[in-house]
Amino acid sequence: AIIETPVRDATAEAVLFDAIVVGAGMSGLYQLIRLRELGLRALVLEAGTGVGGTWYWNRYPGCRFDSESYSYGYSFDRELLAEWHWSEHFAPQPETERYLNRVADKYDLRRSIRFRSRVTAAAWDEAGLSWTVTTEDGGAFRSRFLITAIGALSSPTMPNFPGMDSFRGQAFHTGLWPKEPVDFAGKRVAVIGTGASGVQTIQEVAKTAAQLTVFQRTPNWCAPLHNATIGAEEMAAIRARYDEIFARCEETFSCFLHTPDSRNTFDVTEEERNAFLEKLYAERGFGIWVGNFKDMLTNREANRVISDFVANKIRQRVKDQRVAELLIPKNHGFGTRRVPLETRYYEVYNQPNVTLVDSRATPITRITPTGIETSDATYDVDIIVYATGFDALRGAFDRIDFRGRDGVTLKQVWDHGATSLVGMLEHGFPNMFMLLGPHTALGNIPRSIEFNVEWVSALLGHMQANGLTRAEAQPAAIAAWMDHVNEVAKGLLSMEVDSWMTGVNINVAGKQVRHVARYTGSAPAYRAWANGIAERGYDGIALT
Ligand code: N01
């Protein structure tokens, strides 16, 4: 890629940019557009060879949106909204990757992006009021501002089974999928993991594999996606409603088109309740999870009602009741972990070529050159798919050596848990802004991305207009925000369950203890807090 300026000058002194953005995914691309509008000289450092972030790396079979396509795209560009035709209500990964490439082309973004540049370290220089950012290939770049656009689910993790390197077949992690298509036809395939990635992979691979063996440690509660194609006429109608769609996303709890029902589970008769649950189960998208009775995720009895309802659906859809029981979660209630959306996922287990292995009862003990060994059997396979997830939230930060003021590392500061001001700033790390840092609102992520990019850009604009060069979050403001983060998590049933949402990853040392790892309040509450800071003249941020 050609970038605007040479990467190093002759004296090996790194070139000074106004801003460096780490990552060319959805947030990095939009941030670059805004930085250019501010007239700032920006460089984006991207580990991959193309743009797209999540939609660049996750090209596993069946990968697609769980948010409605038209609620997911950027909202800031009316021309692009008028031009783009989403082919399905939940678009597949290749289409989203094409979409983000279209954005990169339209705004001529690639000239500011240095690809194949995995950032390994970033250090603050107080005297020079600048960050020095280094990449795996030895590149060094300097900038006044550092903006991380490194994602919340972007650091893939592998299990630590003995013998993994000895496997002679093909092995892939869903989040590091190769660009060349992988052919499953006639192959014996193993999928390890049954989160959202595993579920999407399994239902696709089952179509062509000779034999598919699924290794499930913890079943998840899945619900039907009800995807459908979008014709020209329907797309025109969607385009006409874009204002309404984005206004809706702005007011809902997690920026989805769905939001909790205003009623509690036991406010209605059993008959009304069942009718409502049936309606949600038959509806497109996340309605059953985020559009359900408002006490479903806090009231144990209410949660039992919806869990029993979905369990019965699984029993109806899976023929072998022994398999059905294995697929029904027993250690957590519906919605207390991320609900994977599925298309005939449960029916896959009725196919003669698919076997479910309970890898909690009979754990995987070893990978051999020819397959997988468990405590009671051996499975010979040609392909192993690791759908084993990510070192989520702070994981992408942990693999970069961030050094702030006085050489203090971010790891040290976050030793007892990550802290932040609205997920975007940290004390001791001046001029560093985290677009999807811990404690930002997640949900339908592009909506949060647009807000965060605009918030950071407004702060940069404010600094520019007032001749300010340094911004640092103050401890009292961080403490107040973290009190709020901890407060809103109280009483949530999800806090009683191990998952990436509670900061647990069985494959990463030191990440076994559940804690408030993310912001669980509403997106409107998050925005109100962040906007309040800006409206009070960046109260809680020392600006000089
Ligand atoms: O990862 P996960 P994911 N031995 O952590 C199992 C987003 N996403 O990539 O639960 C055996 O959910 C692990 O078992 P357990 C979405 O937010 C979005 O699927 O730890 N098994 C689990 O089953 C999602 O929540 C979309 O017992 C092991 C699985 O691997 C997030 O990304 C699509 C194991 C990991 O599940 C992460 O989803 C895909 C081991 N050592 C993802 N280690 C869409 O929007 C792990 N597992 C469409």
pLDDT in tens, 218-253: 999 999 999 999 999 999 999 999 999 999 999 999
**Mutation to probe ligand 1, out of 68, 90, 95, 153 (largest number of atoms < 8 A from CB):** 153
**Mutation pick for ligand 1 pocket among 217, 337, 357 (CB with most ligand atoms within 8 Å):** 217
Mean pLDDT calculated for residue range 95-112: 98
As a whole number, mean pLDDT of residues 148-158 equals 98
**194 CA → ligand 1 middle, Å:** 6
Q: List pocket residues of ligand 1, CB cut-off 6 Å.
A: 64-66, 153, 159, 174, 192-198, 200, 217-218, 338, 359, 387-390, 500, 506-507
Atom of ligand 1 nearest to the CA of 388: 30
Q: Which ligand 1 atom is at minimum distance from the Cα of 341? A: 48
What is the position in ligand 1's atom list of the atom closest to the CA of 194?
Answer: 23
The answer, yes or no, to whether residue 296 has pLDDT greater than 60, is yes
Q: 268 alpha carbon to ligand 1 midpoint, in Å?
A: 35
461 sits in which H/E element? helix 445-465
The best mutation among 197, 385, 508 to test binding of ligand 1, ranked by most ligand atoms within 8 Å of the C-beta, falls on 197
Torsion over CA: 511, 516, 518, 520 (sign):
positive
Given this model, what pLDDT does residue 514 score?
A: 97
* Residue whose CA is at the smallest distance from ligand 1 atom 29: 193
Residue 283 CB partners (closer than 8 Å, separation 6+): 226, 291
Spatial separation of the C-alpha atoms in residues 170 and 167, rounded to whole Å: 8
Distance of CA 130 to the CA centre of its chain: 29
Tell me the average pLDDT across 488-499: 98
**Crossing angle for the helix pair 93-106 and 26-37, nearest 10 degrees?**
10
Q: What is the pLDDT, as a whole number, of residue 5?
A: 42
CA distance 356 to 349: 7
| pLDDT above 70 coverage of the chain, percent | 97
Burial 425-462 (b: 16+ CB within 10 A, else e): bbbbbbbbbbbbbbbbbbbbbbbbbbbbbebbbebbeb
Which H or E run contains 455? helix 445-465
pLDDT of amino acid 224:
98
Which pLDDT tens digit goes with each residue over 316-368?
999 999 999 999 999 999 999 999 999 999 999 999 999 999 999 999 999 99
Ligand 1 center to residue 306 CA distance, Å? 22
Q: Which atom of ligand 1 is nearest to the CA of 193?
A: 30
In the prediction, which pLDDT does 303 show?
Answer: 98
Report whether pLDDT(8) > 60. no
Q: What is the pLDDT of residues 158-174, one digit of tens each?
A: 999 999 999 999 999 99
In DSSP notation, 145-202 reads: EEEE---SS-SB-----TTGGG--SEEEEGGG--SSPPP-BT-EEEEE--SHHHHHHH
Ligand 1 center to 477 CA (angstroms)? 34
- A 10 A CB-CB count for 83 gives 11
By DSSP bridging, strand 170-173 and strand 378-380 are unpaired
Q: Which atom of ligand 1 is nearest to the CA of 338?
A: 25
Bridge partners, residue 189, by sequence: 212, 383
pLDDT over 50 at 12, yes or no? no
Contact (CB, 8 A) for 172 and 182: yes
Q: Which atom of ligand 1 is nearest to the CA of 67?
A: 45
Give the pLDDT confidence score for residue 7 in this predicted structure: 42
Is residue 265 a contact partner of residue 293, using CB atoms and an 8 Å limit? Answer: yes
Which residue has its alpha carbon closest to ligand 1 atom 39? 197
pLDDT at 104: 98
CA of 38 to the centre of ligand 1 (A): 39
Asked if the model's pLDDT at residue 6 lies above 70, the reply is no
Q: How far apart are CA 74 and CA 104, in angstroms?
A: 12
Return the residue whose CA atom lies nearest to atom 10 of ligand 1: 218
Beta carbons of 15 and 132 less than 8 angstroms apart: no
Distance between Cα 503 and ligand 1 center (Å): 13
Q: Place 511 in a pLDDT band, splitting at 50, 70 and 90.
A: very high
Instruction: Report H helices in 241-344.
Output: 242-251, 270-281, 287-290, 300-317, 321-327
Average pLDDT for 101-106: 98
Q: In terms of pLDDT, which residue wins out, 2 or 432?
A: 432
Which residue puts its alpha carbon closest to atom 3 of ligand 1? Answer: 389
User: CA nearest 187: which of 356, 385, 383?
Assistant: 383
User: 123 and 327 in contact (C-beta within 8 Å)?
Assistant: no
DSSP reduced 3-state for 123: strand
Rounded to an integer, the average pLDDT of 97-117 is 98
Return the pLDDT at 10.
36
Ligand 1 mean position, distance from CA 350 (Å): 23
Q: What is the mean pLDDT of residues 122-135?
A: 97
Cβ(166)–Cβ(193) under 8 Å? no
Q: Taking the CA of residue 331 as centre, how many other CA atoms within 13 Å lie in the half-sphere pointing to its CB?
A: 10
Distance from residue 360's CA to the centre of ligand 1 (Å):
15
Whether residue 288 is predicted with pLDDT greater than 90 in this model: the reply is yes
Counting ligand 1 atoms within 8 A of each CB, the residue from 154, 216, 326, 338 with the most, and so the one to mutate, is 338
pLDDT, averaged across the chain: 96
pLDDT above 50 for 3:
no
What local confidence, expressed as pLDDT, does residue 251 receive? 97
Alpha carbon separation from 337 to 222, 347, 398, 489 (Å, rounded):
10, 22, 23, 14
Atom of ligand 1 nearest to the CA of 160: 41
Nearest CA to ligand 1 atom 15: 218
Ligand 1 mean position, distance from CA 506 (Å): 11
Q: What is the pLDDT of residue 403?
A: 98
The SS3 assignment for 71 reads helix
Please give the distance, rounded to the nearest whole angstrom, from the Cα atom of residue 318 to the centre of ligand 1.
22
Atom of ligand 1 nearest to the CA of 218: 27
Are the C-beta atoms of 209 and 189 separated by less than 8 Å?
Answer: yes
pLDDT 10s digits, 181-227:
999 999 999 999 999 999 999 999 999 999 999 999 999 999 999 99
* Amino acid of residue 446: P
Give the C-alpha distances (Å, rounded to integers) separating 44 from 3, 18, 102, 114, 404. Answer: 9, 11, 17, 6, 20
pLDDT of residue 13 exceeding 80: no
Q: How far is the CA of 426 from the centre of ligand 1 (A)?
A: 28
Give the Å distance between the CA of 102 and the centre of ligand 1. 29
Say what the pLDDT of residue 14 is. 59
In terms of DSSP bridges, do strands 541-543 and 471-473 run parallel, antiparallel, or are they unpaired?
A: antiparallel
